[in-house]
A and B are shown apart, each in its own frame.
Chain A
Amino acid sequence: MKEQASRHTLELLRFYLRLDRIRLGIWLVALTFFTVIVPPAFLGLYESDQERQLMAETMENPAMTAMVGTGALDDYTIGAMTAHQMLLMTAVVAGVMIILLVTRHTRTDEEDGRTELIRALPVGRRAGVQAALLYTIITAVLLALFTGFGLYALQIDTLDFEGSLLYGAALGGTVLVFGGVTAAAAQLADTGRGTIGLSITVLLGAYVFRGVTDVTNETLSWLSPLGWVSKTDAYSSNAWLPILVMIAAALALAVAAGILQERRDLGGGLLPHRAGKANAASYLAHPAALVFRLQRTALITWGVGMFVLGVSYGSVLGDMEAFIEGNEMMAAVLDPTSDLSMTEQYLPMLIVVMSMMAAIPPIIAINRMRGEEQKGRLDPILARPVSRETVFGSYAGYAVLNMLLMLTVVGSGLFAAAAASMDDAFPFTMIWQAVLAYGAATALLLGLSLFLQGFFPRLLPLVWGYLLYSFVVVYLGSLFQFPEWVMNLSPFAHVPDYPVEEMAFLPILLLSGLALLLGGAGWAGFRKRDLEG
């Protein structure tokens, strides 16, 4: 009986791995790459023990602990520094990776009806979930080995063999735990989006809970899966107990997913469904209203997320003055001759990163148009007396409003937290202007998205690459001394760093104008091309 239910698990696993060989490969290589480039950079920046200890002191404040977790601050070697500043963040990204990958092979397949086809073949009932769990294990082991051996291969004194393996194991363990979380969530929610939403909520919940308990009562952090990551204390005391806890938790979640799956029907979820409305709300009378209605939940979720992001960055500002003064890496980036306070100088760096994050939801909003087209759901709208111009314009307009809202929300979060934690708070209008200025750079990305949607819809994902490129060059640009032209390729590099720089309107107008031009061309292109679907 048991064998029957698991039949062909391994074939399915092989199939999943084959489907994902590029996707998974990119994730693993990228995670490994961004892990191993950090210790050499630290090595170059903090040559002496004193410098490292100074850094440790600036890191020793509640805001930083809440953000990156606890660390071995009393003996801040390059290894301890890497584990402290990088491990938790990398673990969060690894968690996001496995959530997306596992959802793809569980609930999304089921939602799209592919699971039904597979189940109609002589394949066991549990084979799908089991294959997804085995896939998680393989991913975890590969990530652990890649990062562990990658770090050891750097041959830096304090990156010893055991610590490197433990560092990798902590990442692998996180993958196991959140693979299990996702497999269980896929039984509860009944859509792929719902599964991702539920799992990400658990991930962020674990992050925030750990942040609070790390500051107030470190023992309580044992209750958060992400707390286990910092508890490994890699490159210092090297505790393996948290890894065992992760494996145990992952096993428990896997069993839970199996049991939950037995209790539900194919295609169904376990979370209750409410009956909907028999009539549409009165505002739902225009394509733009439909665009809003379909993305309402996403808008609220992203809005809350952006506010939290703004607050978490803003809360750091209170301790920033001391932090910057003792931090050579930061000092290298900032201009010491300026008559602005150090905090104000640091502000543009926070704001540019926040603006790039805030660019994600409006770009998603435009991508939704492409999704609707591919799923054949633009046809029924265009079969009514609704022009393509209206549909395209609705998505474009919604994306711009979405962008302005996200920038305002993230700026408000920053302002609120800064006002609460600083003696001499910034005026709201200053932050708001600084944030909105980056709207011009985001607008260029939106214009590019619209252009591609109008002419080359298949190339739309390139915009994500462009955003990632901008993030890398602008965030790390002055640190790694990229040539000027490499920086200038990013629209975010052209926005004035208000309040450090004067507010210059020419680049903003040029960026906005170019965005309008691209968007307008896309609009014209969309009128002319055949729709897919």
Chain B
Amino acid sequence: MLKTEHITKTFGSFQALQDVSLEVNEGEIFGFIGPNGSGKSTTIRILLGVLQATSGRAEIFGKDVWKDAVEIHKHLAYVPGDVHLWPNLTGGEVIDLFARLRGHKKPVDKDKWLERFDLDPTKKCRTYSKGNRQKVALVSAFTSQADLFILDEPTSGLDPLMERVFQESIRELSREGKSVLLSSHILSEVEKLCDRVAIIREGAIIETGSLEELRHLTRTQLLVEAKQPVTGLEAWAHELEETDGGLRIQVDTEQLDEVVRHLAGFGITKLESAPPTLEDLFMHHYERRGGGAS
């Protein structure tokens, strides 16, 4: 569906992307996460054919993103994080225009989606808030019947209620077999929606895979309460913290089995285990690569 191989991009002497390889399969929701300025939007603008990669190959639907941009865009919908619209056109006019530029007579189910996102189409774009401009772009995307959706931080201006509407809509797309590339730094959103993720930092992909696979690389958090004082965990525990009557520890997910066997001898009264969150994962990578996040 979407594939990049070793793309790099330099702006003058600044290297914005190095060796970025991604693959989004059909029917997949692919999360693309990274801090501000890490190269998410540059990658997406290359995928849209607005910027030309300095080297490497990028294809969508098996076609070159630069040379065949027009052909690709017939079946692609894009929502930017910062939506710029024409101040003296109304939201409704913009949605219609976008559908026609796509070659459709009119947007499919426009009224339904306007209602769903609670958007007034008669207002001029200059009077819309950031969130409402984003809704214009989202309604335009959801009424487009595209096969691939490229969403660049699409919910950064939406309220929690609308975020939920958005998440439901994305799940519907995926049930219909559409593919989604969702760039975000809202990790809970990516965690809820995405099948696979790629983490980008300073222009390079530092990890990619399914959430399950990535979780293996990190630690599971355990909360233990036992009849006897628990000892001898130092060999496994990364962080050991005493709580009222119990212990909170983090262990490598691969060593979970050994840890539980060890704990069994102390007469466990309570054992809670939490999978690593994407946030842990993210921070983990940050620390491991000496990102200096703190």
Residues of A within 8 A of B (CB): 190-191, 273, 275-281, 284-287, 290, 293-294, 297, 375-377, 379-387, 528, 530-531, 533
Q: How far is the CA of A528 from the CA of B122 in the complex (A)?
A: 37
Residue B193, interface by CB 8 Å = no
Q: Could you tell me the distance in whole angstroms from the C-beta of A271 to the nearest C-beta in chain B? A: 13
Please, could you name 21 A-B residue pairs with CB atoms under 8 Å apart, sorted by A?
A276-B93, A278-B121, A279-B92, A280-B89, A280-B93, A280-B100, A294-B89, A297-B88, A376-B80, A376-B84, A379-B45, A379-B84, A380-B80, A382-B50, A383-B48, A383-B73, A383-B76, A384-B102, A386-B73, A386-B101, A531-B50
Given A276-B123, A278-B122, A294-B88, check contact A284 B96 (CB 8 Å).
yes
B126 proximity list for chain A (CB < 8 A): 190-191
Bound Cα distance A290, B98 (Å): 11
User: Closest approach, in angstroms, between the C-beta of A167 and any C-beta of chain B?
Assistant: 41
By beta carbon, the residue of chain A nearest B140 is A380
**Chain A residues with CB under 8 A of B98:** 380, 384
Q: Which of B83, B88, B101 has the most CB of A within 10 A?
A: B101
Complex contact B50–A377 (CB within 8 A): no
Residues 127-159 (chain B) with a chain A CB within 8 angstroms: 127, 137
Q: A383 to B79: give the CA distance in the assembly, Å.
A: 9
A279 touches B96 (CB 8 A): yes
Shortest beta-carbon contacts, A-B, top 5: A276-B90, A280-B96, A285-B100, A383-B78, A278-B92
Q: Which residues of B contact A281 (CB under 8 A)?
A: 93
| Chain A residues near B90 (CB-CB < 8 A) | 276-278
* Best-buried of A277, A281, A286, A533 by chain B (most CB within 10 Å): A277
Instruction: List residues of chain B with CB within 8 A of the CB of A273.
Output: 124, 127
Q: Which residues of B contact A380 (CB under 8 A)?
A: 78, 80, 83-85, 98, 137
Contact call B49/A382, Cβ cutoff below 8 A: yes
Question: In the complex the two chains form, is B100's CB within 8 Å of A382's CB?
Answer: no
Closest chain B residue to A190 by CB distance?
B126
- Interfacial chain B residues near A285, Cβ < 8 Å: 97, 100-101
CB within 8 Å of A: which residues of B? Answer: 45, 48-52, 69-74, 76, 78, 80, 82-90, 92-94, 96-98, 100-103, 121-124, 126-127, 137
A385/B51 contact (C-beta < 8 A), A276-B92, A277-B90, A376-B82 known: no
Which chain B residues lie closer than 8 Å to A533 at the CB level? 84
If the complex has contacts A277-B122, A284-B100, A375-B84, are A386 and B70 also in contact, measured as CB distance less than 8 A?
yes
Minimum Cβ distance to chain A for residue B209 (Å): 28
Enumerate chain A residues within 8 angstroms of B45, measured Cβ to Cβ.
Answer: 379, 531
CB distance from A107 to the nearest CB of B (A): 12
A297 partner residues in chain B, CB cutoff 8 A: 88
Tell me which residues across on chain B come within 8 A of A379, comparing CB atoms.
45, 48, 50, 80, 84
Known: A276-B93, A383-B78. 20 other contacts (CB 8 A): A273-B124, A276-B90, A276-B92, A276-B122, A276-B124, A277-B122, A278-B92, A280-B93, A280-B96, A284-B93, A286-B101, A294-B89, A379-B45, A379-B50, A380-B78, A383-B73, A384-B101, A385-B71, A385-B101, A387-B70
Q: Which residues of B contact A290 (CB under 8 A)?
A: 86, 97
Q: What's the nearest-Cβ distance from chain A to residue B8, in Å? A: 14
In the complex the two chains form, what is the Cα distance from A281 to B83 in whole Å? 22
Q: Are A530 and B48 neighbours in the complex by a CB distance under 8 Å?
A: no
In the complex formed, the residue of A with least CB distance to B78 is A383
Contact in complex: A275, B69 (CB < 8 Å): no
B93 contacts A385, C-beta separation under 8 Å? no
**Residues of chain B with a CB closer than 8 A to A278's CB:** 90, 92, 121-122
Residue in B84, B102, B103 with the greatest tally of chain A CB atoms within 10 Å: B84
Name, among B72, B87, B102, the residue most crowded by chain A CB atoms within 10 Å (CB to CB): B87
List, in ascending order, chain A residues with CB within 8 A of B86's CB.
290, 294, 377
Q: Please measure, in the bound complex, the distance between the C-alpha atom of A530 and the C-alpha atom of B89, giving whole angstroms.
A: 27
How distant is B45 from chain A, measured CB to nearest CB, in Å? 8
**Nearest CB of chain A from residue B254's CB, rounded to whole Å:** 43
B84 touches A284 (CB 8 A): no
Question: Whole-angstrom distance from the CB of B240 to the nearest CB of chain A?
Answer: 45
A294: chain B residues at CB < 8 Å are: 86, 88-89
Q: Return the chain B residue nearest A297 by Cβ.
A: B88
Docked Cα-Cα span, A496 to B126, in Å, equals 47
Given contacts A191-B126, A387-B69, contact A382 B93 (CB under 8 A): no
Chain A residues whose C-beta falls within 8 Å of the C-beta of B102 in the assembled complex: 384-385
The answer to whether A385 touches B87, judged by C-beta atoms less than 8 angstroms apart, is: no
Q: How far is the CB of A457 from chain B (nearest CB, A)?
A: 14
Which of B49, B92, B96, B102 has the largest count of A CB atoms less than 10 A from its CB? B96
Assembled-state Cα–Cα distance A533/B102 (Å)? 22
Is the pair A385, B80 in contact by a Cβ cutoff of 8 Å?
no
B69 touches A382 (CB 8 A): yes
Complex contacts, A287 vs chain B, CB 8 Å: 101
| Chain A: CB-nearest residue to B102 | A384
- Nearest Cβ distance between residue A32 and chain B, in whole angstroms? 37
Contacts of B92 in A (CB 8 A): 276-280
Give every chain A residue within 8 A of B76 (Cβ-Cβ). 383
Q: Is the CB of A385 within 8 A of B123?
A: no
The CA-CA distance from A385 to B104 in the complex, in Å, is 11
